[in-house]
Amino acid sequence: MTDATLHPWPWKTAVLLLALSVFLLGRKLDFGGYVHADEPNKVHQITQDKYNFNHPLLMLHSVKLYAKAAGISGDYNSVIIAGRWSSVIFSALAIALLVLVTGRLHGVLSGAAAGILILFTPLFYELAHYFKEDPALIFGLSLSLLAMQFYGEKPCLVRAAMLGAACGVAVSAKYTGLIILPFAVYAVFAARRKGDLLTVASFAILIFALINLPMVTSPEVWKSRVDLEVSRLNATNVPNPRKIPHAEYFLVFNKYASPFLLAMIGVYLVGVWKRQFRLSPTEWSMLLLPTFYLVMLCFISTKTERYVLPASVLFACVAAAGLRPLLSLKHGKVAAGLLLAAAMAWQVPRVYSEDSVFSSKRHEEVLAYLETKLPSSAKVLVDNYQTLEPARQPTPEIRQRTLEPHDTLDSLRRDGFTHILITAKRYPMFYPDSRRASGLTPEQDTNMRSLYDGIFQSGRLVRSWEKGKSKQLEPEFRLYELPQ
């Protein structure tokens, strides 16, 4: 692609989509501080000023710096709101950056369509509300694609350094960000400036090291956490492992992609064929990165829906690019408008459904039941994978901790527990047909299965709360009275 085929940078459109994204995503962030199972751990790392290196540090550092500057680093509720706002900001910036890249390649209308399609992608909308690393990853990948486009238009050492720095940010957001590196290398080779590879690599390593300095200076701890994450991805010690390769992540992607969005991607691919596959490195990257990413997911045993987020976001940009070939056809503008409107008609109600769940009070209702419906002499163990707010009164006694392989019904009774509250977020991984990795040794895994079987068979089900629309905000809970 030559400079003559590029469109003006859609700065105003990007700023408009940035503001709209912050406004829409920044609503309803005050839901329970212990609702998402992964959030409390991140907050405690900041409030206790001690990282466990379970995740790269771009997200945690951002929130920690803000918390210290605002004087809230010791306040749990303030930090968790700050963490959720960080996800909103990362998500909104990612949208603005992708609007710029898509608009530069395919015109302002495609850029605007990309931003709207991403913002109203149900999975993106949901994950933008949690203190999780996924929005930071999307930001890092988007920044890298923008830097790639800058470099491709006018290759030089300064822009090579920008590309390397952006890649360092992407990898610092999540290990998955490594996927951007081969595309950055391709962009350098396409520019016929092999000497720039050293600059790209040097700045990528430098930025990664600066952001992750505590992790870099603790290699043994970092390695142990990486090994744990790899074991989970491989689903080791699972009695019924998922076949490799499998197509389940393509099914997840299809779940969140409207048929109209898929049609727009099809139109784009026809346009690519008509252009005889003459694409710029950035355009190739936007098409192939999500494709290769989905293929890579087919070779991991575990299944987590949020893993498809990068593919959902980047394919939304590809779909928006599919509107451009239609504009040159007779009645093409009408066809493009109808396709985009149909895609939005499919996505918006689903996003509205996601939005409504953030008003859920499930966890508050469960805690209120424990405090008001059980006898004051009761002692309840809350299986801590799904945490409740701290108890507001001394009786009944509510203890929150994760069940461990050394626990038995007898040991729980000896510790005085009369009831146990468990959640479907955890115990299904110990089912005989489970495909989820527990991260335990075979002996520990067997002990946990026996413990849960004993609870189900010997305990008396007192109350259950069925799973709602969201497994995070409305999970299934079961309250059992332990046999005495």
Q: What is the mean pLDDT of the chain?
A: 89
Longest dimension (CA), the chain: 80
Q: Please indicate whether residue 50 or residue 172 has the higher confidence score (pLDDT).
A: 172
Amino acid identity for residue 373 in this structure: K
Q: Please indicate whether residue 295 or residue 440 has the higher confidence score (pLDDT).
A: 295
**Cα distance between residue 324 and residue 274, in whole Å:** 13
For 134-156, the pLDDT digits (tens) are 999 999 999 999 999 999 999 99
> Three-state SS across 208-233?
HHHHCHHHHCCHHHHHHHHHHHHHHH
Residue 53 has pLDDT above 80, yes or no: no
> Model-level pTM?
0.90
- Which of 128, 34, 55, 44 lies closest to 79 in space, CA to CA? 44
Residue 231 has pLDDT above 80, yes or no: no
Six-digit token string for 422:
């468990």
Residue 384 has pLDDT above 80, yes or no: no
Six-digit token string for 151:
């470099």
Q: Which helix (H) or strand (E) holds 480?
A: strand 477-481
Q: At what angle do helices 309-321 and 108-119 cross, to 10 degrees?
A: 150
**Cα distance between residue 123 and residue 301, in whole Å:** 21
The position carrying tokens 């839901």 is 31
Q: Please indicate whether residue 473 or residue 233 has the higher confidence score (pLDDT).
A: 473
Q: What is the DSSP string of 438-449?
A: --S-HHHHHHHH
For 89-125, the pLDDT digits (tens) are 999 999 999 999 999 999 999 999 999 999 999 999 9
Q: Measure the CA angle with vertex 80, ends 76 and 84; round to 5°.
A: 175
Residue 382 has pLDDT above 60, yes or no: yes
Report CA Rg, the chain.
Answer: 24
For 3-46, the pLDDT digits (tens) are 448 999 999 999 999 999 999 999 999 888 888 878 888 998 89
Up-side HSE of residue 197: CA atoms within 13 Å toward CB?
A: 11
Residue 174 has pLDDT above 80, yes or no: yes
Per DSSP (E only), the strands in 375-416 are: 379-383, 397-401
Q: Please indicate whether residue 228 or residue 362 has the higher confidence score (pLDDT).
A: 362
Six-digit token string for 291:
């494709």
pLDDT at 265: 96
Name the pLDDT band for 222 (thresholds 50, 70, 90). low
Residue 205 has pLDDT above 70, yes or no: yes
Q: What percentage of the chain carries pLDDT values higher than 90?
A: 62
Residue 363 has pLDDT above 60, yes or no: yes
Per-residue pLDDT averaged across 379-404, rounded?
83
Strand order in the sheet with 460-465: 397-401, 379-383, 419-423, 477-481, 460-465
Residue 345 has pLDDT above 80, yes or no: yes
Residue 172 has pLDDT above 60, yes or no: yes
Task: Give the range with max mean pLDDT: 84-93, 360-369, 401-410, 415-424.
Answer: 84-93
The answer to whether the CB of 218 falls within 8 A of the CB of 211 is: no
Per-residue pLDDT averaged across 273-292, rounded?
94
Residue 1 has pLDDT above 60, yes or no: no
Task: Give the range with max mean pLDDT: 151-155, 172-176, 233-237, 437-441.
Answer: 151-155
pLDDT at 25: 96
